Amino acid sequence: MNKCAAIQMASSPTVSYNLLEAEKLIAEAVKAGAKLVALPENFALMGDHETDKLNIKEVDGVGPIQDFLSKTAKKHGVWIVGGTMPIVGDDPNKVRAACLIYNDLGERVARYDKIHLFDVMVPSTNEVYRESDSIEAGTKPLVIDTPFGRIGIAICYDLRFPEFFRGMHEQGVEILIIPAAFTHETGAAHWEILLRARAIENLCYVIAPNQGGFHKNGRRTFGHSMIIDPWGIILDCYKTGGGFVCADIDPERLQKIRNTFPVLSHQRFSCEKICNV
């Protein structure tokens, strides 16, 4: 078994402060035995305005946030799933919300760009979000082999699209890592339900690091970062503020559940395949 962790933050508009906080929490998770640590969406910046991310965007492979992820992974000998950070895209007025994965040597091994963008008005509030105004959508899902199992990455709003995850199942996903910055309103209504549903319907582990608390821009995020097993059992949950959750990822338990409860092999209607094997 391998112990994995999900970091929870209440990130600010100051990148240097957020990186210090992330490093502290990563170190604490490693001390608790974690071999893989996942950061939340927007871990390096929760700006006063959505367009603030344009001011800190980095070229793919070069920049202080990417250096931080690489050096921290190497320093602690841990795999890091880097939440999201703004990477230069094709549109000069937008960025890609990129999740970068580094191995325990500090080498980048994969990148996923958020596909589903949060363009909504939250019911019962005056909150309006238009991620597409500043973010360029990705196009390719990601599933990769790691020492912990076959990992698939999704980001926040991706969570609401079950066919996206069923496409990952077709590529043999065993662990879903879902960095997020769920609003308090939508999180209270749907966060746990959606996470447990994705774990149950795909019989896989879910590691879900979330933003959690009050932010200087007036936004409130839901927190409740959690790790869930393939039967939908919550193994650990951190409700609000900065901290982390940690739990063992047991490949034998995953295979036992899949072998004794082979629901995935009973599917009769398949959605259009969205992943290129």
pLDDT at position 48 over 60:
yes
Would residue 274 count as lying in a domain? no
pLDDT attached to residue 77: 98
Calculate the average pLDDT of the chain. Answer: 95
Q: What is the mean pLDDT of residues 13-17?
A: 97
pLDDT attached to residue 270: 66
pLDDT attached to residue 247: 98
Q: What is the mean pLDDT of residues 159-178?
A: 96
Q: Which residues, other chains included, contact 165 with Cβ-Cβ below 8 Å and sequence gap of 6+?
A: 152, 154, 173, 176, 198, 201, 202
Range of the structural domain that residue 203 is part of: 2-266
* Active-site pick, 21, 41, 131, 174: 41
* Active-site pick, 156, 174, 204, 246: 156
Q: What is the mean pLDDT of residues 159-182?
A: 97
* Active-site pick, 3, 35, 94, 114: 114
**Is 94 among the residues known to form the active site?**
no
**Is 273 among the residues known to form the active site?**
no
pLDDT attached to residue 142: 98
Per cent of the chain over pLDDT 70 is: 97
Residue 277 — very low, low, confident or very high, per pLDDT cuts 50/70/90?
very low
CATH of the domain at 175: 3.60.110.10
Would residue 92 count as lying in a domain? yes
Beta pairing partners, 87: 58, 96
Residue 274: Cβ-neighbour burial (10 angstroms; 0-12, 13-18, 19+): middle
112: number of Cβ within 10 Å: 26
**Is 156 among the residues known to form the active site?**
yes
Q: How many domains does the chain have?
A: 1
Would residue 277 count as lying in a domain? no
Contact 4, 34 (CB under 8 A): yes
Encode pLDDT of 206-251 as tens digits.
999 999 999 998 899 999 999 999 999 999 999 999 999 999 999 9
